[in-house]
Amino acid sequence: MFKKLVGVLVCATFLTACNSTDEQLSVGEYDDENNVIFSQEVITNEEEINQFKSIINEAESLGSQPNEIPKEEPVHIVRIDNQADSTIVMYVSIWNNDNSTFIISRGFNNEENSFLLLDDDLSKQLSEILEID
Question: What is the DSSP track for 55-87?
Answer: HHHHHHHH-PPPSS---SPPSEEEEEEETTTTE
Predicted confidence (pLDDT) per residue in 54-97, tens digit: 999 999 999 999 999 999 999 999 999 999 999 999 999 999 99
pLDDT band at 100 (very low <50, low <70, confident <90, very high): confident
Task: Indicate whether 49 belongs to any domain.
Answer: yes
Give the integer Cα–Cα distance in Å for 58 and 116.
11
Number of domains observed in the structure of the chain: 1
pLDDT of residue 59: 95
Task: Indicate whether 95 belongs to any domain.
Answer: yes
- CA 19 to the chain's CA centroid: 18
Whichever domain contains 28, its CATH number is: 3.30.1490
Predicted confidence (pLDDT) per residue in 10-49, tens digit: 444 444 444 457 999 999 999 999 999 999 999 999 999 9
